[in-house]
Amino acid sequence: MLQIAICDDNRADGQMMKALLSESLQIMGEPGCCHIFQNGKALEYEVEDGQDFDLLFLDIELGDEDGFLLAKRLQSSLPASLLIFVSSYEKYVYDSFKLQPFRFLPKRCLTQMLSETLSAAVAELKRRENRFLLVENGQGAEKIPLEAITYIRQRGKYACIAKADGSRNRVRRTLKKSVGGAAGGTIFSN
């Protein structure tokens, strides 16, 4: 089920976005759940409690909060999530590029653009589902999305896999086997 976070300090805008997204999900036949947050702190608390979101619809001006700073913090916690900025101020579109959002939606065009944006985001998430590194650990195997990997470094007989959330996996495998498995199909799955 698709998990969507909407963070907008304007309650009416958040409710409207939820209604439009819910209607689009129903038309697409995609199961999903929309969560509305009126400030970034509430959204961050939810993420800290373990809630994962596939899509983040963030307003840039959140009262006293800066939506860009919130996005930066969320991207480190949720590297596989797609970020979509929503703003009444189109002057921010170029500044948003620094955070590499999936899209930027002007609020004045929300009803026209939201359905197409959601459809494109769902297609991108499905494409990404098959891009991961399979790592064996003591409890079995872990699928690490490629978007969550910051780097892989070789240390002797071990490969150290650093993830965007700050955690690391250490596996007894050469770097060549860790990243070279794509050809053999044993590490990466397509």
pLDDT tens digits for range 123-145: 999 888 777 788 876 777 777 87
Angle at 22 between CA 72 and CA 28, to 5 degrees: 100
Mean pLDDT of the chain: 87
DSSP per-residue string spanning 86-121: EES-GGGHHHHGGG--SEEEEGGGHHHHHHHHHHHH
- Tell me which H or E stretch contains 180: helix 175-184
Whole-prediction pTM: 0.75
d(CA 190, CA 112): 34
DSSP 146: G
How far does CA 83 lie from the centroid of its chain? 6
pLDDT in tens, 149-177: 888 888 888 888 888 888 888 887 766 65
Strand order in 2-7's β-sheet? 32-37, 2-7, 55-59, 82-87, 103-106
Mean predicted confidence (pLDDT) in 70-84: 94
Are 44 and 67 in contact by the 8 Å Cβ rule? The answer is: no
**Which of 84, 75, 6 has its CA nearest to residue 38?**
6
pLDDT in tens, 19-37: 999 999 999 999 999 999 9
Relative to beta strand 103-106, strand 82-87 is parallel
Q: What is the pLDDT of residue 175?
A: 60
